[in-house]
Structure 1
Amino acid sequence: MLDPSILALTASLIIVAALLVWLSLSMASAEGAVARVTRASLNNLALEVQTDAELSQFLRMKKLDAIHKVQRYIVDRSATSGSCAFFRIVCNVMDGVLVAVIAALFDAPIWAEVLAGFVFALVVGVLSVLLRPRVTGSFKPLDAMLRHHRIIGIAVALTPFARIGTNNVSRRMAKEAELSDEEELEKMQLEQGRAMIDRLAESSDIDPEVSEMLRNVLSLSETLTREIMVPRTDMICIERDQTLSAMLKLCSRSGFSRVPVIGDDVDDLIGIAYLKDAVRATAFNPSAMSRTVDTIARDPLLVPESKPVDDLFHQMQKQRQHVAVVVDEYGGIAGLVTIEDTLEQIVGELEDEHDRTQHAEPEQVGERKWKLPARTPIADLEELFEIDMDEDDVDTVYGLLTKALGRVPIVGASAVTRGLRLTAVDSAGRRKKVSTILVEPAGLNDDSEDSAAQNGDGHDDKEHDER
């Protein structure tokens, strides 16, 4: 017959062990919630409670007191999270100890006591994995913090050592950048996302290209528009008094379908002319060919060059714009950006079936006539034609043609310099940059001085456009 006192003590220890299991799960839920509760959500909830006419004064004060306590806890998230983690670990350890004590009350051998405590600890661990309290707290962080605010307060009060080191970290972070609560939370979530992607990549359970795209998505908020735009020096624009006929020829030769329309200079932006609008206006009305381009220009989407790429992408997607003009801090035109530029930050270079790759090596196509890649060094050009170019301000054949023309070359553009005729004959990539240049000796009439040839349609292309 067992001693009643032993039975009573055993029952008490079992109840305490069960309470410790519940406390451990609650601490895990609070630990997951404390990093995701924001001051803004607490302020909004406090306002709702204060304006809720259905609540009694007692309930209103009770809820507001809980909200104010949670606000104090999230002032130092690291210390609060550390206190919850400490109590969770202590509860798990005490569970095993209590079960071992229960086994000792029944005169079990030492190995049985240790085994009983170990098995119970495993059961608690499996239960934590199945219930996932930390994930639950992350999904509804505000509810979890308010539900457990009392035990969180006890944990924080009993673990003042959890604040050691966190003050220095907080001061250093505040010194580096004064972040709002939401910005700090977003930064924390980004860091957690990167760590998760790194773990997935290391496990080799995910395609390396997919993991790279996920990393690119997370880096969009840190990439500015100025880093992906086409600079103004590479833009191809059309003047407002040019005709639709000239625009159709320019689009055909450049490969672009959206062209900025300018007035006196690039900073005098009139709008964006779309190839489809020009085709629609002239397809069944040939007389419209003489209309000026500004009659079909659309209002441009203007974005600052300091805008993060993820915000830029969402804005263009929301406003259904495929091209935007980038302005600098002084209001001048800094460049041009397209929605494809933002997508390339995620998936890499985009090309279609019409994009041609440039030649890797110079190709001789006739007597003293060569097709050269645009990036061919001037030194190679001098060696092929046995001449001394004496050019210090340009390094490639493309730069030489650009200098001779005085503008960005497009396919068909031709110029004569240093006794050589350079003609852009091919383009490559989504941005349609000239990739191949035909170089040949100039005619006898051009030997006396350098001259620039017209582009063929009489249009003076100033800078760069869009797709």
Structure 2
Amino acid sequence: MSMPDMLVFAALAMGTVVLVWLSLVMAATEGAVARVTRSSLNNLILGLQTDSELSQFSRMKRIGKVHKVQTLIVDRHATTGSCSFFRITCNILTGVLVTSISACLALPLWVSLLSGLVFALVIAFISVKVRPRISGTRKPLDILLKHVRVVSLAVFLTPFSRSSSAEIKAKTSRNGDLSDDEELEKIQIEQGRAMVDQLVEASAFDPEISEMLNNVLTLSTTLTREIMVPRTDMICINKHTTLSSALKLFSRSGFSRIPVIGDDVDDLLGVLYLKDVVKAIAFDSDMKEHEVGPLARKAVLVPESKPVDDLFHYMQKTRHHLAVVVDEYGGIAGLVTIEDAIEQIVGELEDEHDRIQHEEPVQIGNNVWKLPARTPIADLEELFEIDIDEDDVDTVYGLLTKLLGSVPIVGSSAVNRGLRLTAADSAGRRKKIATIIVEPASVSDSEPKDNDVEG
């Protein structure tokens, strides 16, 4: 074999190796594109931004790769089509090159053709059925990040595979107003739940752990509005309130952080921290009569449509335990704490006082009753043989809230139909009123006291 023939042979052999490698890469990424979700990419970016061990150059380089992957999965069908096209093309070209190599070796024509065909079929079988496709399904994000430049080039060279905006909109409407990525996440969550159920049936772990895993799977589909404390249940403090009054409100409500407002709830000025009030008063007793406005810290605002998993990571990153939730119009919808997000995984966090909410009414004196806050008004009417006639509330707690016009705290009381209702104590992580004392209103109670409302 002459020198030129040897060079041609070497070039063909090298080209065959490159095409085989490219075919396997396309097969792996083809399986990976269908399994990478936006939430996983967002979590990866958040992890890179908070990784103190990375240099700024390395961090930006890796984040740049993630952004390229985000571009690829915008139209995952187009990306998958490009990978499939290049995989098939590479398989065909490897057969052609192997046939050419056989011809260089002066083999008979039928041997050259057969060897090219067999080699192309073997590579096609390996790329679809064996290792590359398995890697793409098990570690999809790692595979895409590793080969993002090659895949991006493949997509660029195959513009005919891209879906038009009309086609994407049509696919979205067929999926019940879900985007392609949302539909994928929905399918993956269902598959994850099925896998958890199978592990439970196999006694791999306790049912409680199974419930926690199922809860984790739903974090990306649960919105902040579903776990927040609604604005009607928020305890707020006016900016002109003195620090001494604020300290009493902290003590009676049981909270360590309370939103500071102006004229109304939508006029949010910040969040007041108990430790700031205690520190101010401890070092200067004259501060007791100062207003709370200057001590309010800047409030963290989050949209009510934010998924709970993103909310949890965001609060971790910013080191805030409380955030104010805003609606699509910019109004205050409620507030949420990091414990609310944790409860979505581990279940409701109750303490030893929470059982009070499930007890029965108890008579503690002459015609004096201690009622759980959830006691129906019908039971209250039966106990005191009166007609309260309140159709828009169903429980004793609801009645007290309506009479006060605000969220009750411990010690709040109101009079209605000759009965005095007093919030006795609170329970639970959210410090909601647990029991209410109901007794006949005496003559001395006819005039409202602090936090009283005459019914």
Alpha carbons of structure 1 residues 386 and 129: separation in structure 2 relative to 1, 3 Å: same
2:230 is matched with: 231
Secondary structure at 2:382 match in 1: helix
Supply the distance in 1 between the matched residues of 2:194 and 2:26 (Cα, whole angstroms). Answer: 28
Pair 1:269–1:142, CA change in 2 (3 A): closer
Task: State whether residues 29 and 138 of structure 1, in contact with CA within 8 Å, keep that contact through their aligned partners in structure 2.
Answer: no
Matched residue SS, 1:454? coil
Q: Which residue of 2 aligns with 1:140?
A: 143
What does residue range 345-364 of structure 1 map to in structure 2 within 5 Å? 345-352=344-351, 357-364=356-363
Letter in 1 for 2:171: M
**CA separation in 1, counterparts of 2:83 and 2:193?**
23
- Give the superposed CA RMSD: 4.7
C-alpha distance in 2 between matches for 1:146 and 1:293: 55
Residues 23 and 283 of structure 1: is their aligned pair in 2 closer, same or farther, counting only changes over 3 Å? closer
Q: Give, in whole Å, the separation in 1 of the partners of 2:324 and 2:148.
A: 46
Equivalent residue for 2:191?
Answer: 195
Q: Is the 8 A contact 1:74 1:80 kept in 2?
A: no
Measure how far apart 1:193 and its partner are.
4.6
Deviation, 1:179, is 9.6
Deviation at 1:399, TM superposition (A): 1.6
Structure 1 residue 430, shift from structure 2 partner: 0.8
Return the offset for 1:79.
6.8
Match of 2:286 in 1: 287
Q: Which residue does the alignment assign to 1:106?
A: none
1:395 aligned partner: 394
Q: 1:325 to 1:176 in 2, by over 3 A?
A: farther
Q: Does 1:35 align with 2:31?
A: no
- Tell me the secondary structure at the aligned position of residue 372 of structure 1: strand
Distance 2:133 2:79 in 1: 24
Contact 2:172 2:180 (8 Å CA) reproduced:
no
Change over 3 Å in CA distance of 1:35–1:80 after alignment to 2? farther
Aligned residue in 1 for 2:55: none
Match of 1:372 in 2: 371
Distance 1:415 1:191, change over 3 A: same
Where does 1:65-464 land on structure 2 (aligned, <5 Å)? 75-76=77-78, 128=130, 132-134=134-136, 135=138, 139-141=142-144, 173-176=171-174, 184-185=180-181, 187-189=183-185, 191-204=187-200, 205-352=204-351, 357-446=356-445, 452-455=448-451
Deviations 1:253-274 (A, max 9, x none): 1101111111222222221110
Q: How many Å separate the matches in 1 of 2:188 and 2:248?
A: 52
Question: Cα deviations across residues 285-311 of structure 1 (Å, max 9, x unaligned)?
Answer: 322212211121111112222222222
**Map of 2:44 onto structure 1:** none
Letter in 1 for 2:142: F
The answer to whether the 8 A contact 1:33-1:144 is kept is: no
Secondary structure at 1:32 match in 2 = helix
1:419 CA displacement: 0.7
The structure having more radius of gyration, on CA atoms, is: 1
Is the CA contact (8 Å cut-off) linking 1:34 and 1:145 kept in structure 2?
Answer: no
Gaps of 5+ in 2: 1-19, 42-71, 89-125, 153-160, 162-166
Which 10-residue stretch deviates more, 195-204 or 331-340?
A: 195-204
Percent identity of paired positions between Structure 1 and Structure 2: 59
CA distance in 2, matches of 1:172, 1:131: 29
Report the equivalent of 2:91.
Answer: none
8 A contact 1:422–1:440 mirrored in 2: yes
Distance 1:145 1:234, change over 3 A: closer
Aligned pair in 2 of structure 1 residues 397, 34: CA closer, same or farther (>3 Å)? closer
Q: Contact (CA 8 Å) 1:413, 1:453: kept in 2 or not?
A: no
Q: Structure 2: which amino acid aligns with 1:307?
A: K
Aligned length: 363
Counterparts of 2:263 and 2:37 in 1: how far apart (Å)? 51
How many Å separate the matches in 2 of 1:229 and 1:137? 34
> Is the alpha carbon distance of 1:288 and 1:425 closer, same or farther for their aligned partners in structure 2, counting shifts above 3 Å?
same
Residue 244 of structure 1 deviates from its aligned partner by: 0.9
Q: Could you tell me whether the CA contact under 8 Å between 2:196 and 2:214 is conserved in 1?
A: no
Query: 1:408 and 1:148 mapped to 2: Cα distance?
Result: 57
TM-score (norm 2): 0.65
Contact 1:251–1:275 (8 Å) recurs in 2: yes
Judge conservation of contact 2:29–2:143 (CA < 8 Å) in 1.
Answer: no
CA positional deviation for 1:208: 2.6
Distance 1:197 1:382 in 2: 47
Residue 425 of structure 1 aligns to a residue in which SS?
strand
Which letter maps to 2:281? T
Instruction: Give the 3 Å change call, closer, same or farther, for CA 138–221 of structure 1 in structure 2.
Output: closer
CA contact (8 A) 1:424 1:437 kept: yes
SS for the counterpart of 1:346 is: helix
Deviation at 1:141, TM superposition (A): 3.6
Cα gap change, 1:246 to 1:133, in 2 (>3 Å): closer
State the distance in 2 between where 1:427 and 1:37 align.
46
Distance 1:201 1:77, change over 3 A: farther
Separation (CA, whole Å) in 1 of partners of 2:140 and 2:450: 69
Q: Which segments of 5 or more consecutive residues in structure 1 lack a partner in the other structure?
A: 1-20, 42-69, 87-123, 150-162, 164-168, 461-467
Structure 1 outlier segments of 4+, above 3 Å: 21-31, 36-39, 73-86, 127-139, 141-149, 169-172, 176-180, 183-187, 351-357
Conserved 8 A contact 1:221-1:310: yes
Farther off after superposition, 432-441 or 293-302: 293-302
Contact 1:224 1:309 in 2 (8 A): yes
Q: Kindly tell me: are residues 195 and 416 of structure 1, through their superposed partners in 2, closer, same or farther at Cα, counting changes over 3 Å?
A: same
CA distance in 1 between partners of 2:26 and 2:295 (Å)? 64
Aligned 8 A contact 1:303 1:326 in 2:
yes
